[in-house]
Structure 1
């Protein structure tokens, strides 16, 4: 005699609907202990927290630009203290003062404080991001503690886990990599221009000394 319709446990240990004569639908694929269930296809993983992590380095770049501009001018001021006449000696006090003004500028304090602040905020935002991902169904999201190593490491690992769970959200990683590339190119151009200007200044000083 067949059992009446209802919810029963089948031979695989899964709970399924029995319509009185047969099982309704296919048995769900059991999730092993080493796997994490996927989210519905196309579930967005873009949170406000990950975007804050991606864009925070821009603030640090602004502080870095201010510091580099003042440092560049300060280094030229240091060279100006160097006597062109070989018979005169270097004014050590003026040179040390120029050196301090070149490197220990207000922008240095801004750069240092902003760097540590952005670092702390990135870790905090990563923890909030991981919690929101879990709330959206992403079980066992990428550990936010990796942000202590680097925010880029967290965003990359997060992207891998999200894609494995079936979610979508590649844009934050693409934007962050693009920002890093722009920073690298800008730093390379600045270093090249500064080195050329510094070489030209030193060459002019040596030429004048020989005259």
Structure 2
């Protein structure tokens, strides 16, 4: 701003160097006096940039990007030598011991507690003593059965250790033999052991199972004969002396 023509009076005007403030014009030149500009210039609005029109994309087939990891399977057990001895005395005892009580069952007569007495009226009556089933031989059967189960667990541990020594990796664990305290539970260890041994010694390992089956068949025959003899004796007593009072 100049004052060559004398037409610009002194006053506050927008600073030509900074429009955000006012500067004093003394009528001839700019001074060093400044003041805030109460009406700063407003920039003209800028129209928004045009947005591109979205274009529809063709439908894409669904692609499953999930990464699935395959479970790591246990390594295959190495095969044993063809002449490896996979049987030992322990496995045979494990199979035989549970049937020991069946073999001595015929020596127990649960009717031994029955007695025949003559009543004052001249008749004969059969009377059962209290707890006649719990004869000493009955407790012998219970003790033999329990001891056999304990020995099955011990022999399963020895068998497991023997298989490890012979090179069988991860043999069937001996702790499964505790099922022997349940009815026929010893077969859990026998079957598990046979399956794993057959994997490392193809064509072998099933003999204990076949022996257990044979002993089961024998025990069924013995049980039937024993039960038939007991019922025959009981029927004879009832026929001779009458069932009254039994």
Per the alignment, residue 204 of structure 1 pairs with 240
Structure number with higher strand proportion? 2
2:198 to 142, 148, 163: 163
Deviation per CA, 1:66-119: give whole Å up to 9, x if none: 3x23x2333xx24x248596999x89xxx46x243x322221222122111111
Q: Considering only aligned residues, what root-mean-square deviation do their CA atoms show, in Å?
A: 3.0
2:134 to 82, 99, 104: 104
Once residues 198 and 73 of structure 1 are traced to their aligned partners in structure 2, the CA distance between those partners, rounded to angstroms, is 11
Distance of aligned partners of 1:84 and 1:176 in 2 relative to their CA distance in 1, 3 Å threshold? farther
1:45 to 86, 96, 107: 86
Per the alignment, residue 72 of structure 1 pairs with 111
Once residues 163 and 87 of structure 1 are traced to their aligned partners in structure 2, the CA distance between those partners, rounded to angstroms, is 67
2:102 to 40, 61, 68: 61
Following superposition, the deviation at residue 54 of structure 1 comes to 1.9
Number of aligned residue pairs: give it.
166
Question: For the pair shown, which has the larger CA radius of gyration, 1 or 2?
Answer: 2
Task: For 1:186-205, list aligned pairs within 5 A.
Answer: 186-205=222-241
Structure number with higher helix proportion? 1
Per the alignment, residue 76 of structure 2 pairs with 36
TM-score, normalization by structure 1: 0.66
4+ residue stretches of structure 1 with deviation over 3 A? 81-88
Distance of aligned partners of 1:196 and 1:108 in 2 relative to their CA distance in 1, 3 Å threshold? closer
1:117 to 142, 147, 151: 147
Check whether the contact 1:146–1:153 (CA below 8 A) recurs between aligned residues: yes
Deviation per CA, 1:171-206: give whole Å up to 9, x if none: 222222211210111101221232233223213333
Partner SS for 2:214: helix
| 2:231 counterpart of 1:183 | no
Once residues 151 and 141 of structure 1 are traced to their aligned partners in structure 2, the CA distance between those partners, rounded to angstroms, is 16
Following superposition, the deviation at residue 65 of structure 1 comes to 3.0
Check whether the contact 1:36–1:139 (CA below 8 A) recurs between aligned residues: no
Once residues 233 and 123 of structure 2 are traced to their aligned partners in structure 1, the CA distance between those partners, rounded to angstroms, is 26
| 2:159 counterpart of 1:129 | yes
Distance of aligned partners of 1:126 and 1:84 in 2 relative to their CA distance in 1, 3 Å threshold? farther
Check whether the contact 1:36–1:165 (CA below 8 A) recurs between aligned residues: no
